[in-house]
Structure 1
């Protein structure tokens, strides 16, 4: 799924768009998102991916990376018990229109969810909302 994305490129390069510098009174979140957009996507940590996805930034490029991480960690987490993951929550709560535009990502996420058990009640409600949004 992510093989065609050059992980050495930043979101700015992949999208062909450089955002203007944030204003001096911008929040820390705004400054962080701007800075992360300039970094190669392959160097982003899980927390940085969560932050960008949570802000609906760079989804066509970052969702495949997040899904890859979730797919790789789900089996071990399921075996270990309780699974409460901020990255999973960020992915589950993206704008529902995203799943309409990228049904292959929605299907991948459904496959990952099938491997998870003993989830946080907070994640469970996000899962139900995601499943409802993608059932149409």
Structure 2
């Protein structure tokens, strides 16, 4: 038990070092063998077990970039990179929890002059209703985060309202 607690504390320390927030979600049916969603030190390739290999020689810059970012630890991805991956529906089960946490953190900082990563907000709230049906707890987390946002453009408000209705 002590070893398990130490490993847990070490993992939390690593997340703190990376300045990464966590939310307690898991993939599975709620059983004891569920896989924790948060693994910030791992890449999407490691987390989902899919190796895409190198992009084709004639690939667009977007395809080459997505391939590259799938190899980086998800905790090292910047909000604009997360937005691009989420917008392409890549790694949603791993990246949407991170996006929700970032947006919640930004919402809490907004009264002190913080700003919102509009591209990340847009990418998250414009995922299809099927995504949110597959991850209802995550949809609730994101709804909670976006309800805290106060300084949204008219465009962002509209997308957040549609998300609230669809999810």
Same fold (TM over 0.5): yes
Name the residue aligned to 2:132. Answer: 99
Q: State which structure, 1 or 2, has the greater radius of gyration over its C-alpha atoms.
A: 2
Name the residue aligned to 2:120. Answer: 87
Residues 26-105 of structure 1 aligned to structure 2 (within 5 Å)? 26-80=59-113, 83=116, 85-105=118-138
Residue 22 of structure 1 contacts residue 31 of structure 1 at CA under 8 Å; is this kept in 2?
yes
Report the alpha carbon displacement of residue 18 of structure 1 after superposing the two structures with TM: 0.6
Report the alpha carbon displacement of residue 20 of structure 1 after superposing the two structures with TM: 3.4
Q: Which runs of 5+ in 2 are unaligned?
A: 1-22, 26-35
Given the superposition, is the C-alpha separation of residues 109 and 68 from structure 1 closer, same or farther in structure 2, using an over 3 Å criterion?
A: same
Moved over 3 A (4+): 78-84
Alignment TM-score, normalising by the size of structure 2: 0.73
Which structure's relative contact order is higher, taking Cα pairs within 8 Å and 6+ residues apart? 1
Q: Which runs of 5+ in 1 are unaligned?
A: none
- CA RMSD after TM alignment: 1.9
Report the alpha carbon displacement of residue 128 of structure 1 after superposing the two structures with TM: 1.9
Alignment TM-score, normalising by the size of structure 1: 0.89
